[in-house]
Structure 1
Amino acid sequence: MNRPKQHEDRAARLRAQIPEAGFPRGVGVASATTFVLLLLIAAFTALYLSTAGPLSLIRADDQAGRVSDEVTAGQQRTTAGLAQSVATSATAAAGDLQVAAGSGVFDTADDTALLTRLGETYEDWRGVVVYDLASQKVLATRGEPVPVETLRGVAVGNLTVRPVARPGDTPLVLTALPLTGARAGKLLVVSTALRTAAGDLDKGAQQQIRLVTTDGAVLHTSGSDVAATDRPAQELLSRAATAAAAAQSGVLTGEAVAEKGKELAPVVSYAPVSPAGIGGSLGLSVVSFSRFPVEAVPVRWPGLIPAAALLVLAVAGFVLLRRTVVAPIRRLRTDALAVAAGALGKPVRQSRISEVNRVTTAVERYRSKLRRRKPTRKVRPFLSAQLVIVLVALALLGWSGAVAATLGRQHAEVSPTMLSEHGVRVTRSADTLRRSLAEGLTDLQSVARLGRGKQPDQLRGMLDRLAGTESRFRSVYVADSQGAVRLLAGRESLRDPGKLPDGEGLRQHNTSGRVPVVYAFTPLPDSKNVLVGEYDVPRMAELLGSAGGRVRVVDEGKRTIADTEGYLAFDALTDPALIKNVDAAQSGKDARETTPAALVAAQRLADKGNAASLKWVVVAEQPIGSLGLADNTVRSGARVAALLTAVVALMLFAWHLLVVVRPLRRVGDEARRIAGGDTGAVVYPQRQDEIGTIASCVEICRQALNDGRVRLGEVRRPTGAATDQTELIQRIELDEPPQTLEDQAKNDYLRWLNRAGV
């Protein structure tokens, strides 16, 4: 066998004795991994940063106009709010009956007197009867005829609500309460009108609201007509009714058609009516139909140039790292294995990379000493591996900053349709809050009528009902002429002691403090006492969520009373756009505006009635960044791409620094120490990769310099440290912790030798 072949075999045997783990170890793993990640980010940048989205490559209809995502989402919120409003209207009489049950009004045996008292108390009831379900006879009646025949065959075991259709008129709601005592087996049936959304319709959007039953029958419609010949619209309505009947909610969009010079697309949203706290189910759904202008979405690909630039940087950085960092280290490993295996005839190839050059120079000196020859001429390094890594990372960070500063900061154009829709939602939210406040006062007035001639203690049952867990009131109480609380239900009163205003109505008690105190009050008949209900402010804020974005209620001094997001009570508005629109709303002017950052709309709470005395304004701001606009998608994608690239750049730097540069420098320091003549200390390989192999070769050369060339070609334990090794092996077997850092290093070395099978 010739000598080169023999040397290769010895190097191969030595290489087999030194373990090198796989991923994530290895000097080339970091550059390869970051290169793959950068390719993925470049693909994301090219495809996702498009005004039409990545699917436009395979879907031609993405190039057509479409209704904004914010418009469709707003329609869904509005429909859900309408469904909740219908449920509240449908269960209003049920709540009244629950309150009346605690008043003792049912104690009278005279049915006519009972109905007269209830009819005078609840003026919005259309009709009320006492009905014998067994004989199917009406025993007493008051007001309009009640269609009790719809209850035949219905098992009414508890409070039950059922809708009743009236052709060409507003639907009725029948509320049936099983009576007890002497009237056991009979029902008290109340008919009320179901509140519709006719006043809330957006005429510009040709909106129609439908109440649909579970079998698809239309119970009531309001708003613009949808032609029966409009097959696409009818199909959308049918699909929506079917989905809503299954207690689902959602939104459907049809194809746009030309109408009056505009491209209009039908939008159908649906939501089930889900009342709580009653027996049975209403079996109703709200289906909203509208037509909105589509937004032309020209297909633009602003991400192509940044993606191409990132691809160039990824390839250039990968090649640079492989040529200047990975390849020199692997070449050094090959030469170090050859020297450690005893192949001393071939000089060690020197490197221009400073970290690698320190080791190659030292290994070349080992080779020359073992051969007793002069070393080859040194090569002066001119580049640092750490500098290369820093340059590649800085280039990627520069790309990240450029993308974030350009595509990541562009502003989206908001169409007038979106601003109009936002204003309509704010108006509806203000109307919802106004109705809730007014209904709270009405509830107090009803209790006051039922409590005529009674002592405050006899009102306990009704007050507890009004201040229940699902109530709009946080506390309800009876106060005397000086405002002192005599009977309390619910939580502790927050109103400061003092005389209450004359008459009845709604008031804001304070303009500073920890919590806004808003209350309704009405006098108790034949008494100097006043019935007061303090509203639950967080529950008031929940009524405003359908407007979208951040919605606030501010008083006359522009102090915050309620907010859908976290806030400080009575915190004053500071945004000039909000202040401007609140002033416009307070003066009765149109208050809608698009700012560079948000859609802003404001609406006065009430122009007349009891709620007008509060002088409140509902103001909402919807960040443009949250709208489903094409430019927003590009901006969000650009920010994601910039952030991911910055993370990869930092990972690239940290990975190379910790896994390649610093370990290589440690081996270089040890190698130079040995080359300088200090051969007493053992070199411990701390890694199972190419650099660990180089460290093992340096240790073999150190042993050969001490004990002669016979030590070359095999991995051996250091002979001069047998006692220390025996002691360390005993500690390892006993799982004792190392006593010093040197012991820890020796411990690691012995474990490595054991894994190598030496």
Structure 2
Amino acid sequence: MRPPIASLVVLLLVVAALTVIGLGGIHAERIPQAVPNGEQQIAADTAQSVRTTIDVEASTVRRTATAYQATGASTPATALKALTSARKAVLGGALLDPHTGKLLSAGGKPVPLAGLDVATTAAGHGAIPPRLVTSGGTRQLLYFARVTLPAQQEDANQDQFQAPSRTERQWLLVVSEALPALTTFGDGRTAEVLDASGAALATTARGTASPAAADGTLPAAAARAANASGSDTDASGSMLGAATGSRRTVAGWAQVASATGPGDTDHLGLVVLTFRAVPATTTGADYSRFALEAAGALAGLALLLGLALHFFVQRPLLRLYLSAGRLARGATEGGPTAREELFRPVPVHGFGELARIGRALESLRRQLLGESGPEEFPARRGPGYRALAVAGVLVVACWAVPMIFVLNRADTATAVPAPVLAAQQARTEIATNRIRQSLDQSYTDLSDVAAGLPGRSRAAQSEVLRRTLADHKQYRSLYLLDRSGGITLRVGGTPLRTLVHVPDGGGITTVNTSGRIPAIAAYTQVRAVNGKTPAAGVVLFGEIDVNALNSLLPRPKLGSVWVTDDHNKVLAASVGYRAFQSLPESGLTRLARATQGAPGTAGTATSAVLRTSSGPSVDAAAPLAQSGPTARLGWHVVTAEPAAALQIPAVQAEQRTMLAGILGLTLGAACLGWLHVVVIRPLRAVAVLVERLAGGDRRTVLHPVNHDEIGSVTRGLELMRQALAERDRAARSGRAAGPSRSSRETTLQR
């Protein structure tokens, strides 16, 4: 009996304390923490884009060198031209002897090789990571690859009339390129790529930067923070810069390094810095007073419920327990002392079940003394202790329900600061750019493959497609179509296409409109070359693995991300989804339509704060339609981040207020339910049994279920039942023996 009541009071007081701690610690600062956090994530997203660009370029250089097929007529000069002429990003190239460092061939701008230890660089068998060098006062990236070429070598011991021996040797390809171009999203934002010392290597800005953003201390501070991160290669952070009037600079930094293990960019020491001036809030919110008032009200309710249960349940039950034990001793023990226990009336305390048990015990006491016989009790009864438990739950609900549904509700229109909403839109545009670049690269790679198919045998074409499938993990299937749409050559998995068509030109498209897996494909025409064997088909398709597209979408603090087609049906997502389903919220669909990204047009990114069933959500949408292979798609990228995941004071106050209400209601109902199970329900059962016993039922055996106060009352009732049953048997035996003895006496008298 005591544990449920004590637990109710203690747990409600704990909830009151948590309310003070949780709500009292929320203070609205001039720059909410969600704003620097958003800038940090923008810097991390930009750093990932730079890292991906460098990784792709390094892989392309190595793949081009591996795919180059040297012939007997190949020379270092012709090889270098074949390896670099088709790529516009190359500033200069060089072929070196990896053993001596001798320059065999050079093209384009001079490659800065000063200080390069060729033998050490070319040693080993793994991929050679890029290096950051200085040339003419500008910083460039050097990419490396090993190229196998036939080389003629004369043996000095050979006779002069012998032909030179032909062997294969490995050369080192060095390609110099400029740093990847930065793409900045968000009006007034500036992005920089820094080296390890904090010097800016590349800078780009969007729109007009505020004077508050001109803080020259930020690059050095970002470089120091990145260098202090130690072994955490993909570290990131945020900083607050100078303030000008009502605006202050918010900056984020992130290392350009791999997050999943050793990568091509780990040793470059590059850091991305983004910053933007944002308006500071002029009004603050302090929830300390509300927390104290709410906690005080709950503490008062806890003490009130504890006292009510103590006086209406605990004390009457203890007195009833003592009275039942006293009557049991008087009924079973002999002697005048035990007999005196039966002469003390049973006091009736409380109401409901306890009052019924008390009245029945008093009736049993009189029956044990022989003062009365069995007594019937009325069937209609007043409210019992179950009503008291329900009333207790309602009392707790009077405090909890307003906390859950009414108090501290965040205003959807004003709760989320404008810079946080702008950051979500900028990050959505960055995600869109990342997906667009991936699709464009898939199309470019496929076009390069298609250019090498004419003039080859069918077996050679199959080998080219198999090698492409092995080198490009984003493809799940490669196949050639003839003019009727039939597949003439295929490698990889079974195509998912259900739309049989032979499109013109090239680009990205979907080749099914239903099914479990969306089929997204790059396609390009296979050109006929005069004088060469035509390809086995006229269009080369490369179905893109949707999992490769899904893997591009998740980013920390970006929330759920969906890629939708021109009918707003989901093609890919960072969360679980069903192919071609609608977006989970109608507001997201309206947001996607508001981008006005019609096929062939650029469209405009947009963002909004929407109210969902789980609270405010910071949402944004951006069109994928831009120039290039994806221009005609009409696709969108939609993101939704619950505001509760962001450090926004108004939203934090709403969530913690709701949590306090839910905890209070849950714990209060649980403790009162516990009291109902272990006290009230057994009391109802005992009340029925004791009234039957007082009404003359001597056959029903009373079994104590629990070892507690109610169990002791039940044991006492069983002892009284046995005593009454024994007395009734003795009385019946006496009545049966009385007539027989009278008959014998009459016979003797006669």
Instruction: State the TM-score, normalized to the length of structure 2.
Output: 0.79
> Which moved further from structure 2: 541-550 or 526-535?
541-550
> Which moved further from structure 2: 426-435 or 271-280?
271-280
Question: Alignment partner for residue 670 of structure 1, among 666, 682, 689?
Answer: 689
SS of corresponding position for 1:284 = coil
Distance 2:140 2:267 in 1: 12
Distance 2:727 2:376 in 1: 25
Q: 1:339 to 1:372 in 2, by over 3 A?
A: same
Distance 1:675 1:340 in 2: 14
Question: Alignment partner for residue 594 of structure 1, among 575, 591, 608?
Answer: 608
Cα root mean square deviation, aligned:
3.6
Question: Alignment partner for residue 132 of structure 2, among 153, 164, 170?
Answer: 164
User: What residue in structure 2 maps to residue 562 of structure 1?
Assistant: 572
1:72 Cα shift? 3.6
Contact 1:554 1:561 in 2 (8 A): yes
SS of corresponding position for 2:130 = strand
Deviations 1:694-713 (A, max 9, x none): 1122222233334579xxxx
SS of corresponding position for 1:324 = helix
- Is residue 549 of structure 1 aligned with residue 552 of structure 2? no
Equivalences, count: 667
Contact 1:396 1:649 in 2 (8 A): yes
Contact 1:132 1:187 in 2 (8 A): yes
Contact 1:483 1:497 in 2 (8 A): no
Q: 1:431 to 1:223 in 2, by over 3 A?
A: same
- Is residue 288 of structure 1 aligned with residue 286 of structure 2? no
SS of corresponding position for 1:562 = strand
Q: 1:227 to 1:237 in 2, by over 3 A?
A: farther
Contact 1:99 1:465 in 2 (8 A): no
SS of corresponding position for 1:414 = coil
Contact 2:198 2:223 in 1 (8 A): no
1:451 Cα shift? 4.4
User: What residue in structure 2 maps to residue 487 of structure 1?
Assistant: 489
User: What residue in structure 1 maps to residue 163 of structure 2?
Assistant: none
Which amino acid in the other structure matches residue 285 of structure 2?
Answer: P
1:548 Cα shift? 2.0
1:455 Cα shift? 2.4
Question: Alignment partner for residue 78 of structure 1, among 37, 42, 46?
Answer: 42
1:275 Cα shift? 8.1
Which amino acid in the other structure matches residue 428 of structure 1?
Answer: I
SS of corresponding position for 1:394 = helix
Question: Alignment partner for residue 119 of structure 1, among 79, 84, 87?
Answer: 84
5 Å-filtered alignment, 1:445-524, equals 445-451=447-453, 453-468=455-470, 471-496=473-498, 498=500, 500-511=502-513, 514=516, 515-524=518-527
1:102 Cα shift? 6.3
User: What residue in structure 1 maps to residue 747 of structure 2?
Assistant: none
SS of corresponding position for 2:70 = helix
Distance 1:637 1:333 in 2: 44
SS of corresponding position for 2:306 = helix
Q: 1:373 to 1:580 in 2, by over 3 A?
A: same
User: What residue in structure 1 maps to residue 156 of structure 2?
Assistant: none
User: What residue in structure 2 maps to residue 176 of structure 1?
Assistant: 145
Question: Alignment partner for residue 204 of structure 1, among 170, 179, 188?
Answer: 188
5 Å-filtered alignment, 1:609-620, equals 609-620=628-639
User: What residue in structure 2 maps to residue 220 of structure 1?
Assistant: 201
Q: 1:82 to 1:179 in 2, by over 3 A?
A: farther
Distance 2:195 2:14 in 1: 49
User: What residue in structure 2 maps to residue 16 of structure 1?
Assistant: none
1:101 Cα shift? 5.9
SS of corresponding position for 1:533 = strand
Distance 1:138 1:303 in 2: 75
Q: 1:313 to 1:258 in 2, by over 3 A?
A: same
Question: Alignment partner for residue 543 of structure 2, among 534, 547, 562?
Answer: 534
Contact 1:274 1:282 in 2 (8 A): no
- Is residue 661 of structure 1 aligned with residue 680 of structure 2? yes
User: What residue in structure 2 maps to residue 313 of structure 1?
Assistant: 301
Greater relative contact order (Cα < 8 A, sep 6+):
1
Deviations 1:377-410 (A, max 9, x none): 9999965222111111122223322222202643
> Which moved further from structure 2: 643-652 or 574-583?
574-583
User: What residue in structure 2 maps to residue 362 of structure 1?
Assistant: 360
Question: Alignment partner for residue 349 of structure 1, among 347, 362, 365?
Answer: 347
User: What residue in structure 2 maps to residue 740 of structure 1?
Assistant: none
Deviations 1:193-224 (A, max 9, x none): 33132x3254624x3333445xx565834247
SS of corresponding position for 2:394 = helix
User: What residue in structure 2 maps to residue 334 of structure 1?
Assistant: 322
Instruction: State the TM-score, normalized to the length of structure 1.
Output: 0.78
SS of corresponding position for 1:348 = coil
Distance 2:306 2:147 in 1: 81
Contact 1:179 1:188 in 2 (8 A): no
User: What residue in structure 1 maps to residue 19 of structure 2?
Assistant: 45
Contact 1:99 1:461 in 2 (8 A): no
1:285 Cα shift? 4.4
Question: Alignment partner for residue 658 of structure 2, among 635, 639, 645?
Answer: 639
SS of corresponding position for 2:237 = strand
Contact 1:504 1:523 in 2 (8 A): no
SS of corresponding position for 1:611 = coil
Deviations 1:265-314 (A, max 9, x none): 44444463458797895443433242453445421343443333322222
Deviations 1:641-698 (A, max 9, x none): 2222222233133212211112122222332333333334432211111111111222
Distance 1:497 1:592 in 2: 33
- Is residue 396 of structure 1 aligned with residue 396 of structure 2? yes
1:135 Cα shift? 0.9
> Which moved further from structure 2: 137-146 or 550-559?
550-559
User: What residue in structure 1 maps to residue 614 of structure 2?
Assistant: none
User: What residue in structure 1 maps to residue 157 of structure 2?
Assistant: none
Q: 1:284 to 1:488 in 2, by over 3 A?
A: farther
Q: 1:568 to 1:185 in 2, by over 3 A?
A: closer
Query: Which 5+ residue runs of structure 2 have no aligned equivalent?
Result: 151-166, 330-337, 612-616, 729-750
Q: 1:171 to 1:101 in 2, by over 3 A?
A: closer
User: What residue in structure 2 maps to residue 582 of structure 1?
Assistant: 595
1:458 Cα shift? 1.6
User: What residue in structure 1 maps to residue 724 of structure 2?
Assistant: 705
Distance 1:505 1:383 in 2: 77
> Which moved further from structure 2: 357-366 or 687-696?
357-366
User: What residue in structure 2 maps to residue 684 of structure 1?
Assistant: 703
Distance 1:217 1:570 in 2: 47
1:351 Cα shift? 1.9
Contact 2:92 2:108 in 1 (8 A): yes
- Is residue 67 of structure 1 aligned with residue 32 of structure 2? yes
Distance 2:472 2:38 in 1: 26
Which amino acid in the other structure matches residue 187 of structure 1?
Answer: L
Query: Which 5+ residue runs of structure 1 have no aligned equivalent?
Result: 1-26, 54-61, 710-758
SS of corresponding position for 2:399 = helix
User: What residue in structure 1 maps to residue 237 of structure 2?
Assistant: 251
User: What residue in structure 2 maps to residue 140 of structure 1?
Assistant: 105
Distance 1:695 1:363 in 2: 12
- Is residue 324 of structure 1 aligned with residue 312 of structure 2? yes
5 Å-filtered alignment, 1:260-271, equals 260-270=245-255
Distance 1:259 1:131 in 2: 54
SS of corresponding position for 2:134 = coil
1:243 Cα shift? 0.9
1:433 Cα shift? 1.9
SS of corresponding position for 1:127 = strand
SS of corresponding position for 2:346 = coil
Q: 1:283 to 1:551 in 2, by over 3 A?
A: same
User: What residue in structure 2 maps to residue 105 of structure 1?
Assistant: 69
Contact 2:192 2:200 in 1 (8 A): no
Deviations 1:611-669 (A, max 9, x none): 21323333434444443311111111122122222222331332122111121222223
Contact 1:157 1:178 in 2 (8 A): no
Distance 2:597 2:483 in 1: 39
SS of corresponding position for 1:426 = helix
Give the percent of matched residue pairs that are identical in Structure 1 and Structure 2.
Answer: 25
Distance 1:689 1:362 in 2: 20
